[in-house]
Chain A
Amino acid sequence: MIRSEILRDIAPVLRDHLVICNIGLPSQELHMIDDQPTNFYMLGTMGLSSSIGLGLALAQPKTVISIDGDGSVLTNLGTLPTIANNVADNYILMIIDNGSYGSTGDQPTYAGKKTKLENVAQACGCENVIVCRDVDTGKVLQEAIDSKKMTVIVVKCDSGNIKLPVITMDPVVIRDRFMKAVSA
C-alpha cells in the first residue's frame, strides 16, 4: 500500500480525533479523502508535525495523532528525545515510513537504507514503539488510542503518490477551525 491508500483506510479512525498532518502530499491527501475541522493541515515547515502534536497533547486532554513521514522525522530528529522525556498519554506519533521523500519526487531517505526509526525512537527513550505493516495500520492505531499510552507507530509501506490539487484554504481559517474543534 502507498500512503494515500493507508490514509483512506484509516480515515474512519482519524476523524474522531485531533490530527496534525504533515506538509505536502500527506495533508493534500487527507484533505481530499476526509476533510474535517479536527484536521490541522501543515502548509509549510517540514519536520514539525510531531512537535506541534506533542505541544497540543500536553496542553489539553483530547487524543492527538501526528501523521509524520520518515523524511520529516529525519529533518527534526531532536523531536524523539523531547517526546520520550515529556510523556503525554493522549499522544500518538504515526510515522508513515515509505523510505522516500514523497512530496519532492521520491528521493530515498536514510530510513529506507540503514537507519531504523523504530530503533532510534527506542534509543531516545520512547517506551511504546510499534512497527506495523501497511494493511494493519487501522487496527494498530485503534489499539494505540484505546491503550491511552503515548505510542510511536512506524508504518512500513510502499513509496508512491497520487495526483491531487494543493490546499487553497487560508492558513488562518485552518487554524481557527481547528482551534474551535479542539475546544468544542
Chain B
Amino acid sequence: MNIDKKIVDDLVANDVSFVTTVPCKQLAGVIEEVEAREEIFHIPSNKEDEGMGLCAGAFMGGKRPAIIMQNTAIGVTINTLATLIQYYRMPLPMIISYRGELREPVACQVEMAVHTKALLAEMKIPTYHFHHQSDVEEFDAILKYTFMCNKPVAILTDANFWGGYGDQ
C-alpha cells in the first residue's frame, strides 16, 4: 500500500480542497502527493500558526481545510488552537509527523515528543496515533469525525508508520 497516496485519496474523497504544509522529512511523500493533485489547493506556510490562520479563512470561505506539520508545531500553535480554531469552533484535521518516537535518530526531537500527547490531551484535542501502516485505514473515518464535530483533530504518524528513516 502507498500510504502517501492513501492519505491524499482520503482527503480528496472527503472534499478537503485546501491544504497547508510545513515540511518534514517523513512527510515529503505526502506533501508531494498533495502538490500533485488538481483537486487540492496547496499553500505552504512559513509557520504553523500562520497555516492555521489560512485554514480558518478557507473554512469560512466554504472550503474544507487540513494542515500537515511536525509535532514540534504543537509548541507553536497552542494559542492559535485555543483562541481561533477551538474558540470559533472550526474543524481542522492535523496530519502530524510524530518525531522523537521509536527509530528517531535526532535526540532533540525526543524533547518535544515527550510533551506531544500530554499537550494534546490538555487541549482536549481528539488524538489518533498511527504506528503500523494498517492504521491508515482509519483515516477516512477520522476525517468524517473531524468535520462532524467541528474540532481540531490530531493524527500522529510516527517513524514506524512511515517505514523508518532509511539509511542514516
CB atoms of A44 and B79 under 8 A apart: yes
CB atoms of A182 and B83 under 8 A apart: no
Q: Is B8 an interface residue (CB 8 A)?
A: no
Residues in A whose Cβ lies below 8 Å from that of B43? 55, 58, 82, 86
Most chain B CB neighbours (cut-off 10 Å) among A44, A52, A64:
A52
Q: Shortest beta-carbon distance, A44 to chain B, in Å?
A: 3
Chain B interface size range: 20 to 34
**B-facing mask of A50-70, CB < 8 A → 1, else 0?**
111111111110001000000
Knowing A76-B49, A78-B46 are in contact, say whether A58-B87 is a contact too (CB < 8 A): no
Q: Which of B46, B52, B87, B88 contacts A82 (CB 8 A)?
A: B46
CB atoms of B61 and A55 under 8 A apart: yes
Q: Which of B46, B52, B84 contacts A81 (CB 8 A)?
A: B46
CB atoms of A44 and B84 under 8 A apart: yes
Knowing A53-B57, A56-B58, A182-B62 are in contact, say whether A48-B80 is a contact too (CB < 8 A): yes
* Closest chain B residue to A56, Cβ basis: B57
CB atoms of B88 and A182 under 8 A apart: no
8 Å CB contacts to B: which residues of A13-42?
20, 40, 42
Q: Shortest beta-carbon distance, B10 to chain A, in Å?
A: 21
Most chain A CB neighbours (cut-off 10 Å) among B47, B54, B62, B84:
B54
Q: Which of B18, B52, B80, B82 contacts A58 (CB 8 A)?
A: B18
CB atoms of A55 and B65 under 8 A apart: yes
* Stretch of A2-10, A104-112, A129-137, A170-178 contacting B (4+ beta carbons < 8 Å): A170-178
Q: Is B131 an interface residue (CB 8 A)?
A: no
Knowing A44-B87, A76-B50, A172-B88 are in contact, say whether A52-B79 is a contact too (CB < 8 A): no
CB atoms of B61 and A60 under 8 A apart: yes
Number of interface residues of A (CB under 8 A): 35
Q: Shortest beta-carbon distance, B77 to chain A, in Å?
A: 10
CB atoms of B53 and A45 under 8 A apart: yes
Knowing A58-B41, A78-B50 are in contact, say whether A174-B88 is a contact too (CB < 8 A): yes
CB atoms of B45 and A78 under 8 A apart: yes
CB atoms of A59 and B58 under 8 A apart: yes
Q: Which of A58, A82, A178 contacts B58 (CB 8 A)?
A: A58
Q: Which of A40, A48, A183 contacts B50 (CB 8 A)?
A: A48
Can you offer 28 A-B residue contacts whose CB atoms are under 8 A? Answer: A43-B87, A44-B87, A45-B80, A47-B53, A48-B53, A48-B56, A50-B53, A51-B50, A51-B54, A52-B53, A52-B54, A52-B60, A52-B84, A55-B43, A55-B54, A55-B59, A58-B41, A58-B54, A59-B59, A59-B60, A60-B63, A76-B47, A76-B53, A79-B50, A172-B89, A175-B60, A179-B60, A182-B62
Query: Besides A51-B51, A59-B60, A175-B90, 4 other CB < 8 A contacts?
Result: A48-B80, A55-B57, A58-B54, A171-B89
